Structure 1
Amino acid sequence: MTTANDYPEGSLHVWALAGLPEVQEGADLAKLIAGAAPDLRDGDILLVTSKIVSKAEGRVVTADSREAAIDAETVRVVARRGPLRIVENRQGLVMAAAGVDASNTAAGTVLLLPRDPDASAVALRAGLRSLLGIEVGVIITDTSGRPWRSGLTDIAIGASGVRVLEDLRGATDAHGNPLNATVVATADELAAAGDLVKGKAGGLPVAVVRGLSAALGGGSARELIRPAADDMFRLGTSEAIREAVAQRRTVRSFTDEVVDPGAVRRAVAAAVTAPAPHHTTPWRFVLLESAGARRELLDAMEQAWIADLREDGKSAESIARRVSRGEVLRKAPYLAVPCLVMDGSHHYGHQRRDTAEREMFVVATGAGVQNFLVALAAEGLGSAWVSSTMFCREVVRKVLDLPDDWDPMGAVAIGRAAEPPKERPPREASAFITVR
């Protein structure tokens, strides 16, 4: 019998466990494994395929279709292409088909993942301790694909008695360079190593790792799931678009955080993909990145607005109230003024046609502004479109030194929202649809 000292430093022994019977519902996995491997010892780590855990826990269910089972296990759809769905399942894992498996199970049934894989690992570890009097680590594994990488590998979906992550931040490498972002997914690496000896079709659902007792410790596979706030790739394409549109709200209170000009330019790049008549480009965006430029424009606009209101006979109180509505522009750390240009428009010499021609360009500009606002939301920036520049276009053109044929179409206040936006009243799409 080999011992841990029989292996050279820096080496592991990984082998698949033979002799396990077909697992049925209600089976005592700890007893089955202890019977097949009575020589397990302290410090060993067991890699257990989730399928046998699911079978023992009765997670084999009758399903008219696998799709219905996937629907039931799905929390959100991340991406979809044809019949393939990448989803977040009830265990918090993002994987194809929610982990629902129609293989290695009777016709007309599907196999679901363990309801709580971490709890399953805890129970199996406690059972082996009771039967064999040893302390081992247990990792429940499942097969998963990976973004940007072809092929499948096993990952840890449940764990007990194993440090699933090894945080090396604060340490240094062999050259003395600081490690600032290195956190190793030890449990996933072990799961993949076990898959090499278990195989996908070899009927060997359990592997043992010996020689890595240093990986034992407290931990759960939940730690491997990146928190939503830290996940830069949380959304699939279709969901990202829906989420950005849903998050697009009018923000009227901003922090003092400086806005990244690059983010605004990326939003402009999205804006100019909007449709436009006659293959034209009717959008122009004036970006006010200096506080002086913003102040000069808003002061001039305010004076023009006050003069107009006085001419309309408004009281001082009414004027002050109306002017205060423009405070959202003053408080924003960044302003953009979208403008309409009619380059490439047709002149018909007929009022109805010429009016319709301008309306086409106005609609195209509105589409560009909407793209701009949604793209800002996708960048994590709040915005408020305010129409005020449309009421004093001459003043805006003069202050910003714009060509006479640039028509300012409002102003967009941009910044980090100082507080969560208020809930939008529900809008049922059906209320805005007429079908003929």
Structure 2
Amino acid sequence: MPAAPAAPAVPSYEVRAVAGIPEVRPGDDLAALIAAAEPGLRDGDVLLVTSKIVSKAEGRIVRADSREEAIDAETVRVVARRGALRIVENRQGLVMAAAGVDASNTEPGTVLLLPEDPDASAAAIRAALRELLGVDVGVVVTDTFGRPWRTGLTDVAIGSAGVRVLDDLRGGTDDRGNPLSATIVATADELAAAGDLVKGKAAGLPVAVVRGLAHVLGEGSAAADLVRAPADDMFRLGTSEAVREAVTQRRTVRAFTDEPVDPGAVRRAVAAAVTAPAPHHTTPWRFVLLESPRSRLELLDAMRDAWVEDLRRDGKSEESIAKRVRRGDVLRKAPYLVVPCMVTDGAHDYGHARRDAAEREMFVVAMGAGVQNFLVALAGERLGSAWVSSTMFCRDVVRKVLGLPQGWDPMGAVAVGHAAAAPPERPARSAEGFIEVR
């Protein structure tokens, strides 16, 4: 009788801590200390090394009167702040609590900083172990992170050498033949988390070995590849920080690409606009969306003709008129136009010039608040915009062309589209120049 076919091998791996690593001090040869602990390394193993001992060996211990000062020095960008807790981007490009500054297991009055270049640290350890032990292993430098949407901490990879940190499955299929279009596995982070289960935080076991996963070894990638690019980061800021940042990111954009504008994005921006404050519990905002090229062209041609007529009445030369009219190109070249209009149906009539003027000003201020909300919301949708005053100078023309009620006052026009280029940096303004305290 023929022998039964052998059962397919069931994937498995083992992970174990390495005992015997002494207290690490600045200047120590970390690879030599690991080799002396007789870790029993074999080709294809992955060595997981806690960043704290890498930092100590590299002398990343600094004197600091307070941990907060050290965090300030290591911070490139504040992502979110809640009381004393800060989530920041640090010098290594990692987004994490307290910039990775650690005040535990170090002398009083000192703090530990993360390795200057964790990928380079991993590469140095790997090369030294090859020399000392004659083995080809992968090395991952790990650190402890919290995670958005998840409670609790876990270890992740902040440095790597000889390990394919990402397993990109896009373009393949699952076992049912369905295409995989978004699956990228963070292999190095999975290894780091596995090692954390045996290393422990206070057991004096800062190094672990994973065996049985030789297929994850490979060249050409580094832990820095795990950091999401800013353009792909949908949650770059905390909630309150995002609200403040959104206001400053609202910039006037005057050149757009040909990419179509999502009408749904504009409608979401209108929904944000109409949350603005308004007098007497009224709703003074109306937004006319010019979504067809024909409607935009008819309006802009009529506005141009009215403007030319005004300029000729002012005695301007034809050359001057042509130059001024070209200022309207920002509207003509935009792929989408919005005409915000003010209605004052709920205004009080006092029969008194001063009070009636103030009443209208209240509605104008509310209209400005609504338009600002609209522009900020467009920026949140990654759409550029330019608020141009043109329609305010020919309201009758605008109402006639667009078929608007007589009581709708056009308050400019907003050009909307995808910015052709990033707007130039705007110098920061100090609030002090705009404040008077009494």
TM-score range, shorter chain: over 0.9
Q: In structure 2, the residue corresponding to 1:417 is in which secondary structure?
A: coil
How much does 1:103 deviate?
1.6
CA distance in structure 1 between the partners assigned to 2:320 and 2:394 by the alignment: 19
CA distance in structure 2 between the partners assigned to 1:285 and 1:178 by the alignment: 42
Q: Does 1:417 align with 2:419?
A: yes
Task: After superposition, give the CA deviation of every residue in 1:277-333 in whole Å (9 maximum; x if it has no partner).
Answer: 222221111110111111111122122222222333333223222222112111110
What is the one-letter code of the residue matched to 2:350? Y
CA distance in structure 2 between the partners assigned to 1:121 and 1:318 by the alignment: 66
Q: For residue 368 of structure 1, what is the aligned residue in structure 2?
A: 370
How much does 1:38 deviate?
4.7
Q: In structure 2, the residue corresponding to 1:32 is in which secondary structure?
A: helix
TM-score under structure 2 length normalisation: 0.94
Q: For residue 19 of structure 1, what is the aligned residue in structure 2?
A: 20
207-216 or 58-67, which moves further after superposition?
58-67
Q: For residue 49 of structure 1, what is the aligned residue in structure 2?
A: 50
Q: Does 1:203 align with 2:204?
A: yes
CA distance in structure 2 between the partners assigned to 1:101 and 1:279 by the alignment: 53
CA distance in structure 1 between the partners assigned to 2:223 and 2:327 by the alignment: 51
**Is 1:249–1:382's contact at 8 Å kept on the other side of the alignment?**
yes
Q: Does 1:384 align with 2:381?
A: no
CA distance in structure 2 between the partners assigned to 1:423 and 1:208 by the alignment: 48
Q: For residue 3 of structure 2, what is the aligned residue in structure 1?
A: none
What is the one-letter code of the residue matched to 1:314? K
CA distance in structure 2 between the partners assigned to 1:94 and 1:38 by the alignment: 32
CA distance in structure 2 between the partners assigned to 1:221 and 1:248 by the alignment: 34
CA distance in structure 1 between the partners assigned to 2:193 and 2:109 by the alignment: 30
Task: After superposition, give the CA deviation of every residue in 1:214-270 in whole Å (9 maximum; x if it has no partner).
Answer: 111112111111111222222223443344333322222221111111111121122
How much does 1:346 deviate?
1.8
Q: For residue 316 of structure 1, what is the aligned residue in structure 2?
A: 318
Q: For residue 306 of structure 1, what is the aligned residue in structure 2?
A: 308
Q: For residue 60 of structure 1, what is the aligned residue in structure 2?
A: 61
Which residue among 235, 242, 246 is the counterpart of 1:240?
242
Q: For residue 432 of structure 1, what is the aligned residue in structure 2?
A: 434
How much does 1:362 deviate?
0.3
How much does 1:67 deviate?
0.6
CA distance in structure 2 between the partners assigned to 1:423 and 1:178 by the alignment: 42
Specify whether residues 194 and 426 from structure 1 end up closer, same or farther in structure 2 by C-alpha distance, changes over 3 A only.
Answer: closer
Query: What is the 5 A alignment of 1:320-331?
Result: 320-331=322-333
Task: After superposition, give the CA deviation of every residue in 1:177-234 in whole Å (9 maximum; x if it has no partner).
Answer: 1111111110000000001111222221111100011111112111111111222222
Specify whether residues 427 and 68 from structure 1 end up closer, same or farther in structure 2 by C-alpha distance, changes over 3 A only.
Answer: closer
Query: What is the 5 A alignment of 1:202-351?
Result: 202-218=203-219, 219-351=221-353
158-167 or 107-116, which moves further after superposition?
107-116
Q: For residue 5 of structure 2, what is the aligned residue in structure 1?
A: none
CA distance in structure 2 between the partners assigned to 1:424 and 1:126 by the alignment: 46
341-350 or 313-322, which moves further after superposition?
313-322
Q: For residue 33 of structure 1, what is the aligned residue in structure 2?
A: 34
Q: In structure 2, the residue corresponding to 1:325 is in which secondary structure?
A: helix
Q: For residue 102 of structure 2, what is the aligned residue in structure 1?
A: 101
**Is 2:18–2:39's contact at 8 Å kept on the other side of the alignment?**
no
What is the one-letter code of the residue matched to 2:304? E
Q: For residue 4 of structure 1, what is the aligned residue in structure 2?
A: none
CA distance in structure 1 between the partners assigned to 2:127 and 2:316 by the alignment: 79
What is the one-letter code of the residue matched to 1:212? L
What is the one-letter code of the residue matched to 1:25? P
Q: Does 1:184 align with 2:182?
A: no
How much does 1:411 deviate?
0.4
How much does 1:120 deviate?
0.9
CA distance in structure 1 between the partners assigned to 2:27 and 2:106 by the alignment: 16
User: Unpaired runs of 5+ in structure 1?
Assistant: 1-6
Query: What is the 5 A alignment of 1:111-126?
Result: 111-126=112-127
250-259 or 133-142, which moves further after superposition?
250-259
Q: Across the two proteins, how many residue pairs are aligned to each other?
A: 430
What is the one-letter code of the residue matched to 1:277? P
Task: After superposition, give the CA deviation of every residue in 1:329-369 in whole Å (9 maximum; x if it has no partner).
Answer: 11110000001111322222211111111101101111111
242-251 or 198-207, which moves further after superposition?
242-251
Q: For residue 358 of structure 1, what is the aligned residue in structure 2?
A: 360
What is the one-letter code of the residue matched to 2:316? K
**Is 2:387–2:415's contact at 8 Å kept on the other side of the alignment?**
yes
Specify whether residues 426 and 86 from structure 1 end up closer, same or farther in structure 2 by C-alpha distance, changes over 3 A only.
Answer: closer
Q: In structure 2, the residue corresponding to 1:281 is in which secondary structure?
A: coil
Specify whether residues 190 and 426 from structure 1 end up closer, same or farther in structure 2 by C-alpha distance, changes over 3 A only.
Answer: closer
Specify whether residues 58 and 423 from structure 1 end up closer, same or farther in structure 2 by C-alpha distance, changes over 3 A only.
Answer: closer
Task: After superposition, give the CA deviation of every residue in 1:69-109 in whole Å (9 maximum; x if it has no partner).
Answer: 10011000011111111000011100011011112222222
Query: What is the aligned-residue RMSD (CA, Å)?
Result: 1.7
88-97 or 192-201, which moves further after superposition?
192-201
